[in-house]
Amino acid sequence: MATPTDGTPTPEKVRKLATTSAKLDRTALIGVFGTKGALQALIRLPKGNITKVSTGDSFAGAKVEAIDSDRVILTRRGSQYVLALPQG
């Protein structure tokens, strides 16, 4: 079982949630990081690959138009899509 640097054991509930596989069969936003004005995002593709993107980048036929603290706005084939962070 993993432990924090102070030696406290990881609670069982946290350990189980952290090691539970998620069934994601579509593109999903995993996280957003960076400084305001220079945000980047981690996006999970349907086959499980993770890609790091910035505004203006292209991946899987889509272009990253904007990154906010909780979502990424994409355009693909003239349509706009929003990837939002999972709630909960």
CA-based Rg of the chain, rounded to a whole angstrom? 16
CB atoms within 10 A of CB 32: 17
**Model pLDDT for residues 2-44, shown as the tens digit of each residue:** 445 677 787 887 777 666 666 666 899 999 999 988 999 999 9
More confident site: 1 or 26:
26
Task: Give the residue-averaged pLDDT of 55-63.
Answer: 95
Of 21, 19, 15, give the one whose Cα is nearest residue 3: 15
Q: Which domains, and CATH codes, for the chain? A: 23-84 (2.30.30.830)
The percent of residues above 70 in pLDDT, for the chain, comes to 81
First to last CA, the chain: 24
Prediction pTM value: 0.70
Phi, psi of 17 (to 5 degrees): -65, -40
**Cβ atoms of 62 and 55 closer than 8 Å:** no
Please give the pLDDT value at position 5: 61
**77 pLDDT exceeds 50?**
yes
